[in-house]
Amino acid sequence: MSTEPFDAVDVIAAKRDGSRLTEPQIDWVIDAYTRGVVADEQMSALAMAVFLNGMDRREIARWTRAMIASGERMDFSSLPRPTADKHSTGGVGDKITLPLAPLVAVFDVAVPQLSGRGLGHTGGTLDKMESIRGWRASLSTEEMMTQLGTGPGAVICAAGAGLAPADKKLYALRDTTGTVESIPLIASSIMSKKIAEGTRSLVLDVKVGSGAFMKTRERAEELARTMVDLGTDAGVDAVALLTDMSAPLGRTVGNALEVREAVEVLAGGGPADVVELTLALAREMLRQAGRPDADPEAALADGRAMDVWRRMVRAQGGDPDAPLPRSAHQDTVAAETSGYVTAMDALGIGVASWRLGAGRARKEDPVQAEAGIELLAVPGDRVSAGQPLLRLHTQTPERFGRAREALAGAISIGPEAPDLPGSVVLGRVDPR
């Protein structure tokens, strides 16, 4: 019978008492948890100790490296194109990956967007894409490399099960133990997967506001700095943009609704904030890929990005011409008074969309492609009493009541126009 070099209780106690974990302790506890030697209740205690006492830069870097070492690594170095990658920390109405991936690929850049599904009030990119008839999320490594190398150059697909399996176990545990908001655990979770995916350059979209994990600018900057530092320590060219998530992004929340809006952006239209953020992220990715003079705005306007989108969807079995699903039941929320819309709480609207069927409480729950919310007015708009503000969509009308409960107090109307930020991009965090 083999003897373990450490005892889980000793590692937990060290972090509980505020000590810095050693590299051998971190390597062992991640490996032992992946093997099942460290039990869920022990890792829960360690996660809470990390939540309460934090980790320094060296600890987080080692924790991230240990999670990467728990599984496989991908390698895109054989591709004939440079690669560029983006990750968003998640928000409400965040459909940016859909227009962004084909837009960057226009300029002979490979864009491997390995994405996930939604949980709670934040939407999942794969759930959105599965609104498209025939589209499939699961690709073999060979299919992915062909699509990136000689195909359209962009892929949106599910990450393989072999990438950072320790993170998959720990992520599920954090979700049930109140430790999701820990910056060391968020940063190491995101960056372990991205580094394992073979990322050489990465633009991080770190959301700030009520609909984000990070509610304040200070916390968002701390998370962004931690992730950029982790990237730098691993040899990844990483930069972060801090972006506003106090209100939903764009005019739609929900799977098919957001695909429809993303296609509008690819056709040269769409909401100004979605277009602005898509272009800002595209410029960062193109700079990192050695294309600083590329003009992504022109590629939206002249149809090149739309052409790549259609090729990308077809390459994964989807029909870009098929009509998107539409809800069988709709309801509206109207303004109670006249004035200006001063705020639309992203969290309340995200929860309402989830309750309509667009999201899931557990990872195995189904989602409705048709469910979600259209924003018929946004902050800064003048409205009259009785004017529709939101249109709710679902296949199951018994959900309307609970969705409306989530919207109580989510929309503020005042006598004066609000002082809104001039840009959805609030700041930038570079490598030190």
Radius of gyration of the chain from Cα atoms?
22
- Asked about 121 being catalytic, the answer comes back as no
189 is catalytic: yes
Q: Would you list the DSSP string of 415-429?
A: SS-----S-SEEEEE
Element (DSSP H or E) covering residue 206:
strand 201-208
Residue from 62, 65, 87, 304 carrying the catalytic annotation: 87
Q: What token pair was written down for 291?
A: 């294309």
Paired tokens of 56: 């320094």
The active-site residue out of 189, 210, 246, 327 is 189
Burial of 384 (0-12, 13-18, 19+ CB in 10 A): exposed
**Is 314 a known active-site residue?**
no
Q: Catalytic residue, from 15, 65, 117, 174: name it.
A: 174
User: What is the distance of C-alpha 161 from the center of its chain?
Assistant: 18
CA 332 to the chain's CA centroid: 28
E strand map for 70-110:
85-88
**Active-site residue identified among 193, 291, 355, 393:** 193
Active site residue 393: no
3-state SS, residue 41: helix
The verdict on whether 87 is a catalytic residue reads yes
What number of other Cβ atoms are within 10 A of residue 362's Cβ?
10
The active-site residue, picked from 85, 94, 127, 167, is 167
How far is the C-alpha of 94 from the C-alpha of 107, rounded, in Å? Answer: 23
The set of catalytic residues is 87, 167, 174, 189, 193
